[in-house]
Amino acid sequence: MNEQPKSVLTSKTLWANLIVFAVFAVGSILESINSGGLPDEFAGYALPIVLVLNVILRLLTSQPLDLSLLNLFKSDR
């Protein structure tokens, strides 16, 4: 398998994980605001959902990632 690397920004796995994170973060924040505490229901479902989603996306992936975009965030120290 000698395919061209794709940009990190076109990674379905990255975007799916960011969306899952955003959904749980927003849900937790809203629940926390309404009840004064974090919802326990999220804890039981978050890990299995992310694990299954990652496995599915990993099976669909055929291209490596081009990680050069991440070099923009490195410091020269």
- Surface-to-core class of residue 25, CB atoms within 10 Å of its CB (0-12 exposed, 13-18 middle, 19+ buried): exposed
Residues in the chain: 77
pTM for the model: 0.48
Beta bridge partners of 6: 65
Q: Residue 69 corresponds to which tokens in the numbers above?
A: 């975009």
Q: What are the sequence ranges of the domains in the chain?
A: 13-59
Residue 56's pLDDT band, with cuts at 50, 70 and 90, is: confident
21-44 pLDDT per residue, tens = 888 888 777 777 677 555 666 666
Q: Distance (Å, rounded) from C-alpha 38 to C-alpha 36?
A: 7
